[in-house]
Each structure stands twice: as structure tokens, then as C-alpha cells.
Amino acid sequence: MREPPVLNAVSVPVAFGLSRVKLFLALSRAPHGLLALAAPALGLLTVFAGYTAVYALNDVVDYRVDQEKLRLERPEEGHYLDAVFARHPLAAGRVSLPEGLWWTGASQPRPSRWSWACNGPRPWLWSL
């Protein structure tokens, strides 16, 4: 019966198919660096998702109020930053109520999942 190979620094690349470059990346903890660089990007994505989810929920909750605002608003008064794509698309009838409810429901869990991915579970944050 053949003895298993004794592994040392020279035999590791041969035994496991690792290249020398991977060993040097492991020496410098490159995966930690990649994670450290990715965390702020994921954080910004989480903030953006949370921000837009709140506005979507606001448009669903204020559906009737926004319809009344649009009915009473004169066209020259409608120059708002939030009207770049469409001002209150749900209240204006450009998005149906079922579509708006679907979008809002689909967008709400994303920030929580992404926040959990960045920080781990923080149930006390979700109760705020």
C-alpha cells in the first residue's frame, strides 16, 4: 500500500494543483482585501434599495392623496426632482395598483437581506 504524500511548502502546489501565485495571494490575504473593498459597494446598494423602497411604499400608501394632488396641480407647478421619470406614476395611472403593490412588496425585503449580508443578523434594527 502506498503512503500518502507528506505535504510541505514545496509539495502543496503539486498535491492540490495550486499555482505559486495563489500561494502568494494567500500569504497577503487577498480574499480579505476583496471583501473589504466589496463591503462599501454593497452598503451603497443597500442604502439605495432602502431609500427607493420607502418612496415606493409612500406612493402606495398616499395613492388617493397623490391622485387629488395631481388633479389640482397646474402643469407649471410640476417641476420636481422626483418627476424626472414620472410624477406619482401610480396616482397618474401609468402604473396599475396591482403593479405598484407588487413592486413595493418585491422591493421591501431587499434592503434587509443586503444589510444582513453586510452585517449579519441585527433583529433589533428591523424593529425600529
- Asked if the model's pLDDT at residue 127 lies above 50, the reply is no
- Residue-wise pLDDT tens digits, 16-47: 556 777 777 777 788 778 778 877 887 787 78
Q: Is the pTM of this model over 0.75?
A: no
Q: Could you state, in order of their start, the residue ranges of all structural domains in the chain?
A: 39-126
Please choose, from the candidates 18, 49, 21, 26, the residue with its C-alpha nearest in 3D space to the C-alpha of residue 117.
Answer: 49
What does the DSSP assignment read for 7-57? P-TTTHHHHH---HHHHHHHHTTHHHHHHHHHHHHHHHHHHHHHHHHHHHH
- Residue-wise pLDDT tens digits, 52-110: 888 888 999 999 999 998 888 766 555 677 777 888 899 999 999 999 988 888 877 66
Which of helix, strand or coil describes residue 75? helix
Cell for 56?
415606493
Q: Provide the pLDDT for residue 98.
A: 92
* CA gap 95, 28 in Å, rounded: 52
If pLDDT is split at 50, 70 and 90, which confidence band does 117 have? low
